Amino acid sequence: MKRLFFALEVPDFEKCAITLWREKTLPTLTSSVITDNLHLTLCFLGNTDIEIEQNLIAKLNHIHAQKIDLSFTKIGYFKKPKVLYIQPNKVPEHLLYLVQQLNEIALSEGGVLNYLDYKPHITVARKTSDHSHIILSPDIKIQFTDIVLYHSQCTKNGLRYRKLRNWPLN
């Protein structure tokens, strides 16, 4: 079984911009998410067997959604998992609709509903204290052009997210 999730892929240039902002703003941070792992989660699938994975892929081949433009200008913190993140100043309806569609697809394959409290964000650090009070907020604009199915793998060097498949947004 694979631990899977759907996400919006952050383009390389913007991954670097996020990393540079984080390094400049929080130079002593020791629990940063590696640059290659930066993404915006849409729907967490959890441990998934190969048959369900193939069914999900087949259903995603028929999904139609438009490109998503977001401006990340806010910082937030989830206390329970101790996660520092950046978030967009506005959330377009078509992003919320896409999240709803993906959750319905996951539900049809026996998944659990996880979009009711959906808060789009990009995690920049884990297992950290609350740094959301910092003065230098991000100002990073991202156009998301692909939905990606990622496999979350635990390695000796930490979590790695391997891209299994992607679907372009229109």
For 92-115, write each residue's pLDDT tens digit: 999 999 999 999 999 999 887 666
| Share of residues in the chain with pLDDT > 90 (%) | 86
Q: What is the mean pLDDT of the chain?
A: 94
The domain limits of the chain are 2-168
- Which CATH superfamily hosts domain 2-168? Cyclic phosphodiesterase (3.90.1140.10)
- What is residue 115's predicted lDDT score, i.e. its pLDDT? 62
Mean pLDDT of 22-48: 94
- What is residue 29's predicted lDDT score, i.e. its pLDDT? 87
- Cα–Cα dist 71/87, whole Å: 8
Structure tokens at 142: 């991202």
- What is residue 134's predicted lDDT score, i.e. its pLDDT? 82
pTM score of the predicted model: 0.94
Beta strands in the chain (DSSP E): 2-9, 39-48, 68-78, 83-88, 122-125, 140-144, 146-155, 158-168
| Share of residues in the chain with pLDDT > 70 (%) | 98
Tokens 């915006």 correspond to 40
